[in-house]
């Protein structure tokens, strides 16, 4: 049975990983501490370092692929995506403080990055102009309700303008029904990223969808 010792060991190994690469992403911060709390927005906590490597194959990504992390926080998933040969990697973050930490992380990382076109945007996902060539989208439960619906509707609009395959990796998929309600999404896989989770809860799960 896993207990607090297991959690401590994982935390220590994450911090050792961050120290090795010269980045800082591992924290839990409530959004009211950042002055951006509002209905439908939760907290800052990064996704697991390995989640992209578990959900994307290096072979399926090439220079015409474009990655977007909506609510990129301190940039952990931006750094992870940039280890794949994406043509461009975007991170959109509402908090100026987190955005600045993400910029420092990208500048200072000692990780080997394969994508050299990394665009960190400080702003609201609601007003971000989604590129028509985005092919992989990552959500770590950044927002719910009308903001999430608006982003999903605008992703579908990019597909109408530029038909292509679009993958959505949704970590802690609280608004999974909104993705399915588009009528354009196929659930490819569900994987467990947390050892302990409450049965029936979306927390601890990652869903991978193909949107067409
Ligand atoms: C759970 S954290 C995920 C951070 C990052 N994606 C990761 O996995 O490491 C969610 C992030 O979404 C951001 N966020 C919330 N609402 C947003 C919005 N409307 N536009 C952009 N970012 C937003 C929060 O500030 C927070 O940093």
Run of H or E including 149: helix 145-161
pLDDT band at 3 (very low <50, low <70, confident <90, very high): low
Pairing of β 66-70 and β 88-93: parallel
Residue 115 main-chain phi, psi, to 5 deg: -100, 130
Q: Name the average pLDDT for the chain.
A: 93
At 116-137, the pLDDT tens digits run 999 999 999 999 999 999 999 9
Q: Tell me how far the alpha carbon of residue 52 lies from the centroid of ligand 1, in angstroms.
A: 17
Q: What is the pLDDT of residue 26?
A: 86
Residue of minimum CA distance from atom 7 in ligand 1 = 46
44 lines ligand 1 (CB under 6 A): yes
Half-sphere exposure of 70 (CA within 13 A, CB side): 30
Residue 6 has pLDDT above 70, yes or no: no
Q: Tell me how far the alpha carbon of residue 192 lies from the centroid of ligand 1, in angstroms.
A: 21
Q: What is the pLDDT of residue 106?
A: 97
At 41-63, the pLDDT tens digits run 888 999 998 999 999 998 999 99
Half-sphere exposure of 10 (CA within 13 A, CB side): 12
174 lines ligand 1 (CB under 6 A): no
Domains of the chain (ranges plus CATH)? 4-211 (3.40.50.150)
Atom of ligand 1 nearest to the CA of 38: 16
């Amino acid at each position: 049975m896993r207990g607090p010792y297991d959690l401590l060991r994982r935390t220590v190994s994450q911090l050792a990983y961050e120290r090795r690469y010269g980045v800082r992403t591992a924290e839990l911060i409530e959004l009211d501490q950042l002055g951006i709390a509002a209905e439908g927005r939760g907290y800052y906590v990064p996704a697991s370092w390995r989640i992209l490597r578990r959900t994307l194959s290096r072979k399926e990504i090439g220079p015409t692929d474009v990655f977007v992390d909506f609510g990129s926080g301190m940039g952990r998933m931006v750094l992870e995506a940039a280890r794949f040969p994406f043509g461009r990697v975007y991170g959109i973050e509402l908090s100026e403080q987190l955005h600045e930490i993400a910029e420092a992380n990208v500048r200072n990382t000692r990780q080997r990055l394969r994508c050299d076109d990394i665009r960190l945007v400080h702003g609201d996902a609601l007003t971000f102009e989604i590129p028509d060539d985005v092919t992989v989208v990552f959500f770590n439960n950044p927002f719910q309700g009308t903001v999430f619906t608006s982003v999903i509707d605008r992703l579908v609009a990019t597909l109408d303008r530029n038909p292509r395959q679009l993958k959505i990796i949704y970590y802690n998929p609280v608004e999974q029904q909104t993705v399915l309600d588009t009528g354009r999404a196929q659930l490819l896989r569900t994987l467990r990223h947390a050892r302990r989770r409450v049965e029936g809860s979306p927390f601890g799960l990652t869903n991978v969808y193909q949107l067409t």
